[in-house]
Every structure is written in C-alpha cells, then in structure tokens.
Structure 1
Amino acid sequence: MSPQPLTDADRLRYNQTSLSELQTGLRREAGEFSLTLALCNYHRLRNTVIEQFVSTGQAAAVRLPRKIPSLLGAVQEQLQGRVPPALMVLGLELMDNLPEILNGANLSRDELRKVLPCPWVIWGNETVHQAIARHAPDLRSFSPAAIAFTLPASDLSHALKQGTDQLFLNILEYEGDRDLASTTTIHLQGSPMLRSELAFATADLERQGWQPNADLKASLDLLQGREAHSRLEMDTARSHYEASLAHWQQAQSADHNQDPDQNQAPEPVPTWRDREAVLLLHLGLWWRSFAVLQRTTYYPSLRQARQYFTDCLKIFRQEDQLDRLARFIHVLAEVLQKQRDWQALERLAVEGIILHRQTADAIRLARDHGFLAEIALIKEDWLTAHNETVLALALLEVVELAAAEAPEDLDLASALTIARQFQRGWYRFLLGESQIRLTDPETAIPYLEAARWETDPEVDLILHRQVLEQLIHHYFQQGQYWNAFDVKQELRRVEYRYNLRAFIGAGTVQPHQRTAAPPLDERTNTTVAAEIRASGRLQDVEALVARLESDRHQVIVIHGGSGVGKSSILNAGLLPALRTLYPRGRTTVPILVQTYGNWPQGIAKELDTALAAWMVPTDTIPEPPVTPAAVQAKLAVGLSKIGFCAGV
C-alpha cells in the first residue's frame, strides 16, 4: 500500500526549527525593514506556514499576479497604504516577467526600506532563489541565509505517487487533440506548480538516497519526457517515453489488470491500460514533432506517428472509452491528412461525426466535415465539398453565438480560440476552392482572400502558403496580374521570413521568424536577420541599442542616402534586438511608425497594437479623434504598465 500523507499539524511539527527561527526574526525586526528569504518547494506546506502567521495577526500576505510593473508597486497596490507588522510575498514562481521584476527590485532596494519599514519575507522555490541570486544580488545581500521548509520522505513519496497518477488522469480527461495542436512541441497543460513540485520532490528524495519503485519510475519517465519534449530535447524525451511504455506493457503481461492500489484509493487511479494509452499518445506526438523538425525523414516519421496513434485509439475502443476516443481521434486524422491517405481519413472522419454528435462537440464535428470537404475536393466532387464546408462554417457560427451568450464558459472560449487559429481559415480556403469549380471564379476570390487573412504562417505555415499559391493561380487565370504579383510578393516574404527562401530581391530586409518551440514570451519570437549580421551592421545595431538604453540620448537620428539600408537596420536589426532589452528591469516595447502624413494617428494606432498585451478591459485610453495630447496620454498609460518604450 502507498504511504499515507501527513496532516498540516504534522508538517508544522516537522518544520518546527525553521518556524521558530522565522518567528524570532520577525519579532526582533518588528517596525524596521529587514529581508528574509524563505525557501519552500511545495505550495501546500508554504500556505500552511503563512496561514500560521496571518491568522494570528503577525503578518500580511501578498500574492503577486502573473504580470506586474514592479515588485514595490504591486505590493503597495494590494496593501492600500497599510504597513503590516510583517509582509509575506508569494507568487514569484508563477510570474511571466520574473527576471525584469528582480532587476528592477535590485535597483530600487533602498526604496523598499523607505516605503514599507517592516520585515519582508519573500517566499519562493529553488528556481526563484536561483533567479534572485542571479538578477538581484544586492537585494539578496540584505537577507541572511534562507530559511528552508521541507517535507519528510514519506510525505514526498506519497505526493509523487498521487501527483503522477493525477498527471495521467489529467491528460486523459482534460486534454485532447485541440490541446496538442502544435506540430513541434508539447504545450504542457495543467498546473505548472504540479509539474515543478513533482520535479522538486524527486530531487529531494534522491538527495536522501530514496529510489522509486518500478511503477513510480515509469510514471516519472512520462513527466520527464514531457518536460524534455517541451524543450525540443528530442532524444531525451523519446528515451523516457519508450522506457515508460515498455514498463506498462510488461506489467499487463503479469497477472494484473489494473494498478494494485485501485481498490484502496479514495480517488480514481489510472489503470495500466490507461497509462499505456497515454504513452502511445506521447510517442505518436514525438514522431509527429520529429517529422517537422527533420524534413528528410518526414514520411517515415509520419508512419511511426500513425502507428502509435492507431494503437492509442484502439485501446479507447477496446475499453469502450468513447469520450476519450472522441477527444483524441483527430490526432490520427491530422497524420492521415498529411499522408494524403484519403480513404483512411474518410473512414475516420465518418466515425468522428458519429462520436462528436453523441458528445455534442460542435467544434470537432465541424472539423470532421472539413476533412470530408477536403476529400471531396480530391475526388472532384465539387458540390459535396461545398456543402460540407458550408456545414463546417455553420457549426462554427453556432459555437460563436453560444460563446457570446456564455462568456463564463472558459473551456468553450478556449476551444473556439483554437478553432479560429487553426481551422476557420482552412474552411474558407476549402469553400473558395469548391466555389471556383461550381460557379464563376470571381465569386470565390473573396473566400480565398478571407482565408489569406485568417490563416497565420506562425500557426500553420503549410496552409498559409497553400492559400497564397492558389490565390496567385486564380488571379493569374482571371488576368488580374497586379493582384497575382502582389500576392506572390507576399508569399516570397513569408518564405524568406521562415527560412524557406534565401533571397527575395531588392527591398527592406525583415527579421526571421521561428516556428518551432516558441518561447514563453511571444514578443521575443524574432531574431536579428542573418543579412544584418553578415553585412557587418550588427555592431551598428548594438551601438543603437546601447544609446537607447542610456537616459542621456532622448532622440537619435539615423540618416543616410536612399537605398543604403536605413529601413533594413530598423526592421531586421534594431526592432528584434529591442524586444529582448530590459534596461534596469523595465520592459521595452519598440513602436515603429512609417508615415509622414497623419503621424499622430499612426503613432496612436501602433501604440494600441504594441500595448495590447498589457491592457485589461478596464483600462481607459483616449479614443479618436487623435491629437498630440491624446497620444501623450496613451504613452503615459503604457509607461505606467510596462516602464519603457522606444519609438523608431
């Protein structure tokens, strides 16, 4: 049987020495600024300790949101002018911009003691403490050695067992093919706190000489494989996945049908067949990723992915788990589509229609009809293709209306967002292609143009290129040569940005984009173009960045004759470089304005676009008509949110 968990009182007794040390320090420094770093890798233990202080009035707790302008500003906003006996700050491990916040706190460390003269306790896990040492060393020097709170081995091993079981169940019950839309990486769903705490628990137990049993080792292999896969460490991920799959398949050959703790567990526990299905799914995802990353093995990798996905869905059918089959059936459909195995895809799409009608899943049902529409186009059955696409778009419209009437349904909103990103442009494209064959081609062009703007090369580069290529073809067939040329130029720019074309001719050089493994901060998903580096202009870009980082240079003028590369340096060099610049902990938002006419309107528009990620619906920003004063007001709102803007 699995070890039983401790109570909160047991955990406090286990950490009594650390608890007493913290209480003594807070009493000794009462009424004065002091800094104590509290190290705790487990949120439940941390919350229990903090509750001891808050419930007795010894301290106030401030939980930081994911994104804040500064540490002091966020704390002041929550305290509303109060100065508590002691302050406990938590939430740093979940912050999106932790390095910038720590850099800023390091520079304003003297202001902390002036504004809030009370003992500060900053809570964080090992990752946070490493970040503090790296990004805020001067602030770190204010604190003596960190006070550590930990859990005994018996509690950690139970938490590992419980946490890995929950991971399997979360994947099967709460994820689905729409959560696995990326072709290259695994977007780790669920709580990042759960994932990090499982890793910390494993490390803590290893330091104590503990070794997991075979079942737990196989479960941890899944966790470690997913983490490696999300970082595109492909060989490591595959090794973990295959080791875990081999264990669960061997376990089934013994005289067991399910996890031995199944009957004793107070909560559902995944069976060994459940675990096997999860590993088959992840190996299929691994080969799908590998097909994209290693184009020379594209079709052999797709065959491997197809086999693993087929075996996974087979388990769902054998276990009569139709809800799971309905959620994951499209991972196989996508591979069949890429393989152009239209007969197999048609059979699977028909099965999907039956399943998704039973589960009332309109978004996946629309996609089933989209697959049938594409198959009909291949068969040159234009009317069927048209009707299936119209039905897919109609189903999507029904979901749009339902989402508008139920804004609190976050799952529906998330599913709809993915459908807009990955599927609606595809439906428009299919509708345009079928319409061209059925009626006057001119009536179909608007559908293809809609697909042009609704498909995103960042999301589906292959589909976006296909839309542009078909638009070029149809414009040319109709004698609209200028439109065909315009779209062809756009296609070349897209191919250049994603490293599919070496040179696009004379014009402004653009930054290159990355499609694989997008970073956590999407603003940094551009790189300084290779042409800037190769031409020797990188040192000019670095000099401009250094000047902008200095408060002494308020205005910088770049001048030169026509055609010498001023626009290229800005677009392909300076802008990508500025997006990774964090002067004194402040976020940099470069704003490019390329207009000589109504420049206030241009600046206002670019400000709205650039600052959208930091705004919330309650933010009040001046609306048109735009005046210089209104532009200044917009800029003031932006500065209050992020701290630093650079206009070019």
Structure 2
Amino acid sequence: EMSQGQFKLILAHCNYGSLRQQMVQRLQEISSVPIREIVLQSSVKKLYFTIREQVGDEEPPALMILGLESVSEINQLLISMNSVREEFRKHCRFPLVLWINDEISQKLSRSAPDVTSWGTLTKFVIVPQMFSHELQQQADGLFARILEWGVSQFIPNDAIFSSGYRQEIKAALRDLNRQGQNIEPALQANLYFIQGRDAYTKDEIDTALAQYQQSLDFWHHSNNLERQGVLWFHIGLCHRRRAELDSAGSRPHWQKAKDSFEQCLDFFEQADNADLVAKFITQLGEVWRQLEDWDKLHQLAQKSQQLHQANGNRVLLAQDYGFLAEVALERRNWNEANALATRALQTLETVSDEQRQHWHLYPLLLARSQLLLARSQRQLGQVEEAVANLERAKQGKPQDDPQLYIQILKELRSLYKDEQHQYLKAFEVKQECRSIEQQFRFRAFIGAGRLQSQRQVNRTVTLSSNQEELAQEIIDSGRKPTVDELISRIESRDKKLTVIHGLSGVGKSSLVNAGLVPALKLKKSSDTRDILVVTLRAYNNWVKELGKNLAQELNSREIILPSIPDSRSTLIQELSRNGQRNLLTVLIFDQFEEFFFVCPSRQEQQIFFTFLKECLDIDYIKIILSLREDYLHYLLPLNNIGSKVINDDILGKTILYQLGNLQPEAAKNLIKNLTSRSRVHFEEDLIDQLVKDLAHNLGEVRPIELQVIGAQMQTEGIRTLAEYQQVGSKENLVQRYLEEVIEDCGAENEQAARLVLYLLTDEKESRPLKTRTELEKELKALENNGIVEADELDLVLEIFRQSGLVLLLPETPSNRYQLVHDYLVSFIRKQQSLAEKLNAEKEEERKQRILAEDRVRQKSRQDGYELILISLILIVAIILSILSKKILFSREIYFFRGIINPGLLTIL
C-alpha cells in the first residue's frame, strides 16, 4: 500500500499451486486496495507489452502476475523483460507481484539479473502434513479418473494435475527431506504410480514398469483390488507399447500384455464390479486380434457385447461388433462379416456428439469398421462400395493409429490396382502409404518420394494432432547446420529472398518439408515476432492456393479471417496486416520449377513476379524459392521487376543457396540411424560397402539413390553384407526397383512402360529429351499393331514422373521428358529383349512384305507375258481373218469380172 503510485517489484516465491491459490485469495482479502490479476497464456513472449495491452491507460493500485511457470518461451520472456526494464519503472507506477517457483527463480536470476536485483523476495512454504494430504487427494483423483474413463484413452498426468506438478513434487520431497519427514508407504506408492505414468508417456518403458511394480507391491499387501486392477492395466499398456516398438519380435510382448490385462479383469471381477470389467475388457480383445486367436476373440467379444448392452456404452458395443466382424472375415463368412460391420457403423451413428468428442476411441472404431465393411464388400463383389468406404476411412488422422491407417491405404491400393485397374490412383495411394510409414518410423527409406517431418502417435489426449518434429533424417545426414543457416538468413534483416537450388534428387524438397518448415514451427519466434510459415507446392491456381494456406496457418493461431484471400490484392493486404499482428511471415515456394509447367506464358509468369516484388516491399516478410538448378535461368526476368532486394542480380551469391550431395561419412550416419530407429538393422560391413558403392563415381552420395536402393533393400529383407552380395550389386537393386515401378503401371501397360523407358535412352547410352508426341510416334512405330492409346501413354509417363524415374521439363512449344539418372540407362539398354523382339518381328514383317511384293511383281510379269502372248495371238488371228477375207474378196472379184461389164466395173 505504501508503494502506490510508484513501481515496486515483489517476487512471491511458492512451489505449490494450492498454497499459491490460498495466498492470492488471502492477499485479496487483507489488502485495503484492489489487486488486479493477470494470468499469462503459454504463448506470451513479452511481459511488459502484455501488461500494457491488458491495463491500457489505467494504472491499477497493484498488479499480480500468475502463470509464469506455464509460459513455453519463458527464457525469451525473461530476456525481453530485462531489456525493457526501464519501461517498467517509467510506465508501471504501481506494485507488481510476480509469482515464481524454484525453476522460475533460477531462470530469472540467469536471464534477467537486473530485474531480479530490483525485487523484494517473499517465500511461502507448505507444511509436510498439508503436502501429504494434497498429494493423497491428487492420487485419489487420478485413480478415480482412470476408473471413470476405462480404456477410452490414456489420460496423462499433465491433463489431470496442474502444469507444474512435477516441480511441485520435487520441491515437496526436498522440503520433506530437509525437515526430516518420512514419506508414508501409501503416499510413496502413489508417487511411484504417478512417476511411472510420466515415464510411459515418454516411452521410457523399463522405468515405467519398475515404478508400476513398486506401486503394485504396496496395493497387493493392502489388498486394494481396484487399484491392483488399475496397476495391471498400466503394466499391460507398457507391454503393448513394447510390441508396437518392436514389430519384428512383438509376439512375446503381446503375450505379456494379454497376461496383464487378464490379471486386470480378474481383480475387477474379484471386486465384484461388472461396470469396471465392461470398461476395460476390450483392451484384451485388441490383444487377441494381434495374436490372431480368433476363437478367443470371438468368446471375449460375445461376453463383452452382453456387458455393453447392459451398461449402454454404445462406443464399446460398436467395438464388440467390430471384433465379431473381423472373426467372421477370418472364417470367410462374408455375409455375416458384412452385417456385423454394418451393425458397428450403425451403432456408432447413435453416439451423441458429446460422447464422440469425449471418446478417443470413436474415430478409430469408425475407421476400422469402414475397413472391415470394405473387406467384406470386396469379397461380395461390391467393389465400388468398398472403395467409397475406404476413401471415407482414410479421411481420419494417421497419428491416432498409423498402423490402422496404413492397413486402410494398402487395402485401397489393392482395390484400385487389382479390381478397378486404376493404376495411377493405386500408385498415388502407395506413395501416401510409404510417406506415412516414414513419418511414423515404420519405414527406414522412402524411395523416390519426398521426406516429411516426423510425427508422433497420439497415445494420450494432450498430444497436438499437428505435432511435428524435425525429421531425424535431416539431422543424421549432417544437414541440421544447413537448416540452421537458412533460419539465420530468414532472421537476418538484409536477406529477404533466398533461392535454394541443386541437382535433381539432391533433397531440396525433403530439406524444406522435413527440415526447414518443422524447425521454423518449433522455433516459433524470431527476435520479438512469432514466425508464420506458409508453404506452396501446387501452382495450378497459385493465388487461391496461397490464400487458403495463409488462412489455415492464421487459423491455427486463432486468427480467423472474415474471408479467404482469393486475389493478389487481398493476399497483399493480409500479408501486410501480419506485420501488425507481430508476425514474421515466411513464404516458401517449393518445387518452384513446377510453376513454369503450369504457367508457361510470359504474361502468367509476369503476374507472379509482380506479386513477388510487392511481397518483398512489405516489412516482416521473407521469401524462399526452391527449384532445380537447371531452371535458374527462368528466374532472370525477376531482374526486370525493379526490386531493390533483387537489385538486378537474382542469380547473385547473396540470394542463391546451393544444396549438394551427401558426404560418405554423413551417408553412413544417416543409414545407421534410419535403420536403427525403424528397427531394420543393417550390418556395419553392409553399410560400409553400400556407401562405397553409392559414392563410387562422384565421391559423394546422391540422397535419392540412397533412398531408392535402401527402400528396395528393405522391401527384399536385405540386412547383411552376404545377402547384399548375393543380389550382385546396387545396379541389380535399381533394376528391381525399375521392375516394381513398371509393375505399378499394370500388366496391360507393361509393354508400353518398358518401351517408354527404352525410348528415353539411345544407342549412345545417353538420355535424350523427347516430347510426348515424339514418344507416341516412336511407340507406334515399335508396336506391332501400331495403336497406342493416349491414356495409356499418359498413365505410364505420370507414374514414371511421380516415381522419380522421369523428369518433366518445361519447354516451348512442348514439354519434354527425360530419364532422371544416367546410371539407369545401362540397366534399361541391357533389358533389350522386348525391343529386340519387336525389332525382330518388324524385320521379319519387312522381309515377308518384300517377298510378297516380289511374288506380286513376278506374278505381274508372268501375267504380262501371258497378256502379250494373248495379244499376239489375237493380232495374228485378226490378220489371218483379214487375209482370209481378202482372199475371198479377190475370188469374188474374179467371179464378177466374168459377168459384169468392164465399163461398169470401172465405174464401181
């Protein structure tokens, strides 16, 4: 009260949330002046500006700041606080109470020493009995929540306790130890349980099991049946998680999970609590599914169905129908499976919206039921219906259950490929499946696809559905410094434009999507501004796509635009407003060479370049273009847009950033870490030989070649040097990869696919550039019937392009295609059997045609001779006929001479 009208900093030190809450309430009661409270959000980065924003022109008599322990960027906040400390003195003329704990106190002394020196410290300490009572209450609440929710979802401690509960427990244990107080056994058992759950959340399974076992020992001796059931349930979750992490050796872990869940149910039955049995029984059903014991699953599902019909749990009842449908599928009872899967979906439809949000299981059961229904429909010949169901099922979130999502994609691909012969759709689904496998570390190598940021499985209710991590491949390959350099360029005030360039297959898109973008999102802020990353990869309608992506990113920050920007002017307006929103906007145009494919005219390109200039003129915007280096010359018109940033030097060193191949040592580290994390273990000797082969020609390793060959090795199960040598060489693996891509084109298109590859090579073993028209013409010339369907050629070219085998190059007047790598040429030329056969057939056809023409000519000559002979005969006959007539005429004249008067004859 004595400090009213002047700045005074009071540091209220308290490690316990409940005590802090009591003290705040008590201070409000005893203070003669009102004390205003501000509770900080986790996203706050500047304390002074937050206070000014909340308080405005008003000067409260006193102000308390709570929530510092929940601020995610606490170090940045404290540094900022120290840098503007004089502003507090000038403009905060009132007592300011900061509530801190041990952790915040240490950080405050380290990051804001000047501010700390101004403060008056007051400590609040809890008495041991109060701590024990509070922790016991929290533990009781934890067990109650678990028993209430059952198997619906794993609720982590963070979602139940206050955000700083770990620090509170540590502080309390220190206080108890200093005061010489012993921890009661029941309290210790609760602590073991809480700590075990924390370890499980972090995948520290061994630690979790040890903590659970110690807690279980106490509850066993105290004969608390329900808590023993809860502990066995958590032990079962640990063994299930081990099975998920060790897919190759998962069966023993599933067996242990089965034993644990059976123990859990036994204790609930001993407690005569059928409701708890109903809540936890389906977890055992999931284990029977994994063990493929269909008889046991059938028995359990029938029992479970009765329990859930009795207690009215519609979500778990739908799961029971799903179990029974899966058993029917395994027993080849297609109609029964169809009916049960339909019943499961119908049951889920009756679940209220509130329950759907409440149950983590709901979206998983919906997707699995759609998958089961699709499988039965396929067997019943209802292919279109099956495809429609799977397309709906794949709309879910992969992170909820990536293995289920992968099953859905594989089934969908099989339907598209084998039943509907829609090979392009099948190939795209295959690529998506491999990408999901890579993101969740089921696959070590992705092939020719683009790396994506790593994602975590949502095993708890608090994990964000959009949580991403910097892909470990980027770190392991030695490219983390590259990412750091790019971030430094983005944070630099004098580098507004960066052009990332490199050869095809060097990993530009992977670096952007799996490295730079997640790193920027994890960094969250630069200096005092939040980083907003907007990425564009599709350029068919770039204005609308960019507007949509911008709106989505702003929406994720709870900035809702009244409408999505759909024109250049509205885009520029919103990008300008981002500066006022305290944002640093990073626009990333990935695979920018694609822009020139879809916008070939100079007029279209000029529109984009003008937009680019307008963006560069806006404060707090950074732009990154990523493209193949053989397309850098397409950027030259940017020199003419009058941008001070470009300064007529778009290809200058200050703008260009080159990305090269991997060094052999980096490639070794990458392979080691990729295979170990995905549990695909390569021998050390195998890795050495593989890298040696990959670096043979260049002394460097091309990332795309490493990924393609690695993917093929993973597909074929090659793990040792002996197995690799048995294959022959990396070239043979590439050849098999080629065969796999050809197979993706479909059996009926196989010949066309092989010929297209052949036509993209020549006898000089080079990679000629060819237009689609040229390929079609040459393909017609090679094929016997001379007929090539346009759709067939387009399909083959598109699959080759998406697989990374063929490049599409923008040219005027027609785009051209080129085989992506020189080393593929020899493989393709060696596989000449088809072309040679066709050429042989063409040669035989040519010979037969010549023979036929000879026969025709010979016959024509023979016919000509006969005609001449006949003509001669006719002529002779005519002559003879004329001669005979003359002779007769002469006789007649002689005859008349004797009768007619000579004078008359003269007249005649």
TM (norm. structure 1) is 0.82
Deviation at 1:78, TM superposition (A): 4.1
Gaps of 5+ in 2: 589-908
2:416 is matched with 475
Q: Does structure 1 residue 155 correspond to structure 2 residue 130?
A: yes
Instruction: Please show how residues 344-363 of structure 1 align to structure 2 within 5 Å.
Output: 344-363=296-315
Counterpart secondary structure, 1:453: coil
2:892 is matched with none
Q: In structure 1, what is the Cα distance between the partners aligned to 2:290 and 2:249? A: 14
Q: How many pairs does the alignment contain?
A: 582
2:339 is matched with 387
CA deviations over 1:408-432 (Å, ceiling 9, x no partner): x5xx253256412x22211111111
Q: In structure 2, what is the Cα distance between the partners aligned to 1:380 and 1:451? A: 22
Deviation at 1:35, TM superposition (A): 2.5
CA deviations over 1:391-450 (Å, ceiling 9, x no partner): 222222222xx32xxxxx5xx253256412x22211111111111112332332111222
Distance 1:152 1:512, change over 3 A: closer
Instruction: Please show how residues 477-556 of structure 1 align to structure 2 within 5 Å.
Output: 477-478=418-419, 479-515=421-457, 525-530=468-473, 533-534=476-477, 537-556=479-498
8 Å CA contact 2:435, 2:451 repeated in 1 = no
8 Å CA contact 1:604, 1:634 repeated in 2 = no
Instruction: Please show how residues 619-638 of structure 1 align to structure 2 within 5 Å.
Output: 620-624=560-564, 626-635=566-575
1:599 is matched with 542
1:141 is matched with 116
1:466 is matched with 407
Instruction: Please show how residues 413-424 of structure 1 align to structure 2 within 5 Å.
Output: 413-416=356-359, 418-420=361-363, 422-424=364-366
Q: In structure 2, what is the Cα distance between the partners aligned to 1:328 and 1:554? A: 56
2:143 is matched with 168
**Higher Cα Rg: structure 1 or 2?**
2
Q: In structure 2, what is the Cα distance between the partners aligned to 1:563 and 1:281? A: 48
Instruction: Please show how residues 217-256 of structure 1 align to structure 2 within 5 Å.
Output: 217-252=188-223
Q: In structure 2, what is the Cα distance between the partners aligned to 1:333 and 1:103? A: 53
Q: Does structure 1 residue 34 correspond to structure 2 residue 8?
A: yes
CA deviations over 1:485-534 (Å, ceiling 9, x no partner): 22222222223333333433335443344448899666652224525752
Distance 1:98 1:179, change over 3 A: farther
| Aligned amino acid, residue 223 of structure 1 | I
TM (norm. structure 2) is 0.59
Counterpart secondary structure, 2:399: coil
Deviation at 1:346, TM superposition (A): 2.0
Q: In structure 1, what is the Cα distance between the partners aligned to 2:467 and 2:63? A: 34
Deviation at 1:296, TM superposition (A): 5.0
Distance 1:588 1:138, change over 3 A: farther
Q: In structure 1, what is the Cα distance between the partners aligned to 2:277 and 2:506? A: 59
Q: In structure 2, what is the Cα distance between the partners aligned to 1:159 and 1:116? A: 37
Deviation at 1:592, TM superposition (A): 0.8
Q: In structure 2, what is the Cα distance between the partners aligned to 1:194 and 1:564? A: 45
8 Å CA contact 1:86, 1:119 repeated in 2 = yes
8 Å CA contact 1:432, 1:447 repeated in 2 = yes
Q: In structure 2, what is the Cα distance between the partners aligned to 1:621 and 1:531? A: 34
Q: 1:82 aligns with which of 50, 58, 67?
A: 58
Q: In structure 1, what is the Cα distance between the partners aligned to 2:157 and 2:241? A: 12
Counterpart secondary structure, 1:556: strand
8 Å CA contact 1:284, 1:309 repeated in 2 = yes
Q: In structure 1, what is the Cα distance between the partners aligned to 2:437 and 2:292? A: 23
Counterpart secondary structure, 1:212: coil
Instruction: Please show how residues 435-474 of structure 1 align to structure 2 within 5 Å.
Output: 435-454=377-396, 456-474=397-415
8 Å CA contact 2:35, 2:63 repeated in 1 = yes
Counterpart secondary structure, 2:238: helix
Higher relative contact order (CA 8 A, sep 6+): 1
1:308 is matched with 260
Deviation at 1:381, TM superposition (A): 1.4
8 Å CA contact 2:42, 2:72 repeated in 1 = yes
Q: Does structure 1 residue 609 correspond to structure 2 residue 542?
A: no
| Aligned amino acid, residue 64 of structure 1 | L
Deviation at 1:88, TM superposition (A): 0.5
8 Å CA contact 1:468, 1:487 repeated in 2 = yes
| Aligned amino acid, residue 526 of structure 2 | P
Q: Does structure 1 residue 191 correspond to structure 2 residue 191?
A: no
8 Å CA contact 1:473, 1:484 repeated in 2 = yes
| Aligned amino acid, residue 587 of structure 2 | G
Q: In structure 1, what is the Cα distance between the partners aligned to 2:463 and 2:120? A: 31
| Aligned amino acid, residue 157 of structure 1 | S
Deviation at 1:103, TM superposition (A): 5.0
Deviation at 1:140, TM superposition (A): 4.5
Distance 1:310 1:533, change over 3 A: closer
8 Å CA contact 1:496, 1:503 repeated in 2 = yes
Moved over 6 A (4+): 516-519
Distance 1:280 1:529, change over 3 A: closer
Q: In structure 2, what is the Cα distance between the partners aligned to 1:108 and 1:597? A: 48
8 Å CA contact 1:349, 1:371 repeated in 2 = yes
Deviation at 1:365, TM superposition (A): 1.6
2:854 is matched with none
| Aligned amino acid, residue 431 of structure 2 | Q
Q: In structure 2, what is the Cα distance between the partners aligned to 1:91 and 1:531? A: 35
Q: 1:579 aligns with which of 494, 510, 521?
A: 521
1:177 is matched with 151
Q: In structure 2, what is the Cα distance between the partners aligned to 1:98 and 1:350? A: 53
CA deviations over 1:116-167 (Å, ceiling 9, x no partner): 3322111133344345455x43565354464210112222233233333333
Distance 1:292 1:636, change over 3 A: farther
Q: 2:18 aligns with which of 41, 44, 51?
A: 44
Deviation at 1:322, TM superposition (A): 2.4
Q: 1:62 aligns with which of 32, 35, 38?
A: 38
| Aligned amino acid, residue 176 of structure 1 | G
Q: In structure 1, what is the Cα distance between the partners aligned to 2:145 and 2:375? A: 40
| Aligned amino acid, residue 465 of structure 1 | I
Deviation at 1:475, TM superposition (A): 2.0
Q: In structure 2, what is the Cα distance between the partners aligned to 1:357 and 1:514? A: 35
Deviation at 1:94, TM superposition (A): 3.5
2:672 is matched with none
